[in-house]
Amino acid sequence: MSEFAHLDPGVRDQLDLPSAERAGRMLAERFITHERLAPILNYIEFLIHMPPQTRASGLVVSGNPGSGKTMLSRAIQRRYPPTPAENGNVATRPVVVINMTNAREAKTLYNRILSEFGVPDPGNYSGNDRERMALKLCRTASLRLLIVDEIQDILTSTARQQRIALDTIKFLMNELSLPILTLGTSSAPAAMQVDEHLNARFKYRELPLWRRDQFLTNFLDRLEKALPLRKPSYLSSPTLAADLIRLSGGVLQTIMQLVTHAAAHAVETGEEQITTNLLERAVFEPPLAAAKQAALQAGLQMAA
């Protein structure tokens, strides 16, 4: 058995890096697919690959802040990246993300779509031209999924503004046969249910708080394999799993932050494994030296 069997094979090579660089790498954003997320990802894949439908469907994913919605959005964008125009083929943009915060009028939503496509000064266009250009760009770029983030924010607007926002979403779905993924807090379902026609087209899924169960055990086992520490930490052991839930309140983002910060501390101190003491240290003391090293490495990569 390999001396570093607790690590994924692709991670073991990082053990040869200088300690400072390895500590910095602990802070890299990681997307760990887990069993709770797999059905959601599968349904998103289904929406993307479905033949165009007269009545396009959608999905609402809700959860508390830090539950992993933003990481989910970024993972989808990485899975379906833009392609440049080359060899006579037009550029494509399979996934576009817009934000609903302060979107009180249809023109705001169209402007945000146009901005995502790199249109300069989209606010200079008239209403009809703005709408036509947005539709044309979506078709030309072969848009396959529109992600609408912070959908719950429409609940802070007037009834008229809510209707305009939801009517715009419905119009895009109808005109483009476009599936839509909406993300938001626990109030997100209520936002979509304002329009009974949209409500009938959407399915609803929630990202819950984590607790000590087999889902957490499997997730922590996968996460540990991605962290280049020389010694196994046994994150899923009863003691460390309980510590993580106690310190994080079951919030995924906080769990990830505690683990990666403690891992950086583990490299810097030479302990090479995550312990309760390092998790508790990570609550109050971020690994500043590791963050500086990560920023330095990012700068060197950009320069190269």
Q: Is the pLDDT of residue 58 over 70?
A: yes
pLDDT band, residue 244 (cuts 50/70/90): very high
Query: What is the DSSP pairing of strand 202-207 with strand 180-184?
Result: unpaired
Choose among 188, 265, 195, 189: nearest CA to 227.
Answer: 265
Q: Give the pLDDT confidence of 142-170 residue by residue, as tens digits.
A: 999 999 999 999 999 898 989 999 999 99
Averaging pLDDT over each range in 88-92, 128-132, 147-151, which range is the top one? 147-151
Give the residue, 2 or 205, on which the prediction is more confident.
Answer: 205
* Spatial separation of the C-alpha atoms in residues 181 and 146, rounded to whole Å: 6
Q: Is the pLDDT of residue 106 over 50?
A: yes
Cβ contact 84:141 at 8 Å: no
Cβ contact 76:44 at 8 Å: yes
Per the prediction, the chain carries an average pLDDT of: 92
Burial class for 10, CB neighbours closer than 10 Å (0-12, 13-18, 19+): exposed
Q: Provide the pLDDT for residue 1.
A: 43
249 CB neighbour count, 10 Å cutoff: 12
**Which two three-digit tokens encode residue 16?**
């040869």
Q: Provide the pLDDT for residue 2.
A: 63
